[in-house]
Chains A and B, each alone.
Chain A
Amino acid sequence: MALITYAQAINEALFEAMTQDPSVICFGLGVDDPKGVFGTTLGLGERFGSGRVFDMPTSENAMTGIAIGAALNGLRPVMTHQRLDFALLSMDQLVNNAAKWHFMFGGQRSVPLTVRMIIGRGWGQGPTHSQNLQAWFAHIPGLKVVMPSTAEDAKELLLTSIFDDNPVIFLEHRWLHGLKSEVSRGDRRVPIGKARVLRQGSEITVVAMSYMTIEAVHAVDHLAAQGISCELVDLRTVKPIDWPAIESSIRKTGRLLALDTGFLTGSVAGEIVARVAGACWSQLKCAPARLAMPDFPEATSSALTRGYHVRAEDIAKKVGEMLGKSVECSALAEQRKHPHDVPGSWFSGPF
């Protein structure tokens, strides 16, 4: 075990996969530049050579199709987008080819492709450098979508994604890259489609993914100190969703608050509420609720993002409302020493 950052964990997973299997290739804008995609791809080019690790033309759609073609011919490409927003140029290839190939050709050939996309918020990323569009990908039959929250899961889920025989959209939140946790050395994998109960509790189930899990941890621990027992389920995968884990938690707590890093309407959180309302109706003690981003693009100015995102204090307040209890929330905001639009003092921009 070693205490490393989420970015280092991704780097370790890439080294591990490329060392084990010569069919793994890694490309994307800037993967071999001096910054190495926030440190996640540093050293790969020197170790594995320019045939397997390469920068690419600014051609997201074709390069995605090229990754699919390479995957159809025996390679396991890992494609990286420094922002999800740029990957929108590749929706045709992802939706019409990667997601469909195995099905529409009768199961003859699969597409073992991993597409890393970085999502984010704050620090002036603004309307087109911050989007969390996991729901788009989760909507497409044939894709898998993973959103790890911890360094350990980032490493183990990336290894699983790379060696999965299907196309996997791997979403990394920029605010998680500096987060440290204990990570096992070597090839350790966690299955896709399995959630993790991060906090055991009895009064309400809070379901979160990616960075929203971190805000939820702060909220849940703060509530625990006030005697409120929340169960926190970290989804880790948003397609396919681990319904048994969510439903067994709801049967215990009878309440659901679904969190999402994306826009509210059509969100993964909305899907969870719908499913739970149908499957666990008789166990529910109050209406299930969602907290997600407002249905507005994210503005750039820090003056305009204050109050835009869901924070730990919003989660604690919502839990209090759902339980009909008055809870203290303001300390959560007051204890943050850094500006509201960065994840911590380690982050100083520009991107």
Chain B
Amino acid sequence: MRRNSKEFIRGIKAGLPIGAGYFPIAVAYGALAMEAGLGIRDASLMSLIVFAGASQFMAAGMFIAGAGGLQIIATTFFVNLRHLIMSLSVHHKLEPTGLGLRALVSFGVTDETFAFLTLQTEGETSKINPYFTIGLNTAAYVGWNLGTLLGCFSAQIIPAEISTAMTFGLYALFIGLLMPSVRRSRVAVVVAGASMILNTLFCLVLDTGWAMVLATIAGAAIGTAVSEGEA
């Protein structure tokens, strides 16, 4: 018991940089979600129960674009499906533990907590304590949700002329998320470029939401085919 609470606190400390990193991004999410027409309740509920940054911004973007519910859910599904693989490696490194704790650890799997848990402990043969993992996830979770609340409230004091320009902050976020990968990998360039072209074409015949879903699936598949050819 003593050991578990110690591990939990050690996890929180290790997770503070992640939570601090999430905070300003969550402020931006909160403000944009309000701009997308979600109230404080729905905007913060999304951070509380979905807890997946990129997909939350995408959902806000799709709300603004007027996409339907099923389309938003479908995009969220495909975008967050990568957490399946991440969760797999996290659980692989985890000390054997009960179902409840495993379910809790699973909830906190994000790109950043995954990267920390698998990269920081790379080469170490010892397994990770589940309480440490939950502490780490908690720090990230608290940072994300506090930021969301602040963003929701700050949205109300942003002047109207700026707030129409704020949707461009959303595009800037998407560009900012994409650029590091585009610099690093040719596949990312092909994938993003292909889905931009496909989405533009699909938009001519389909409504915005389904065009995005299809362009996402097909764009990713084109990139996979290209990288298969290289290997």
A and B co-occur in one complex: no
Residues of B within 8 A of A (CB): none
- A residues adjacent to B (C-beta < 8 A): none
